[in-house]
Amino acid sequence: MGTGQRSNSYVVKQAAQALNNMKYEIAKDLTSAQIIDTSPIVGDYWGYMTSKDCGHVGGQMVKNMIQAAESSLSQQAVANVQTGFNAGLGYQKMNDTVQNISNLNLNSLDQKY
């Protein structure tokens, strides 16, 4: 496939720049860890990079995105569990009971007893 002929399309178009930045950050981290060599990158052209080095960058990107998705899902699950737990404890009922107690007329109790 020649230069400029992209078959990939983004689901969220606004994510293109963020993914591009992520690619360069990961490449920088992998270079500093001496895992890959980014010296063949010319401008934004990665065509002189080895497939192995590009695969390292892409693999790390996927790993980071999966980790972010798992973290987000676990946070949502915790929030749902907390909501269900609070509902199970009856916090709404407790608030209603406190309201009913505060509406009691204690003078009427004194008159009866």
Comparing 13-22, 43-52, 53-62, 76-85, the range with the smallest average pLDDT is: 76-85
Q: What is the pTM of this model?
A: 0.63
* Per-residue model confidence (pLDDT) at position 81: 85
Q: How many CA atoms lie within 13 A of 32 on its CB side?
A: 5
**What's the distance, Cα to Cα, between the start and end of the chain in Å?**
94
* pLDDT tens digits along 67-77: 999 999 988 98
CA–CA distance, 97 with 99 (Å, rounded to integer): 5
- pLDDT level of residue 40 (50, 70, 90 thresholds): very high
CA–CA distance, 104 with 58 (Å, rounded to integer): 67
Average pLDDT, integer, range 44-67: 94
* pLDDT tens digits along 25-37: 999 999 999 999 9
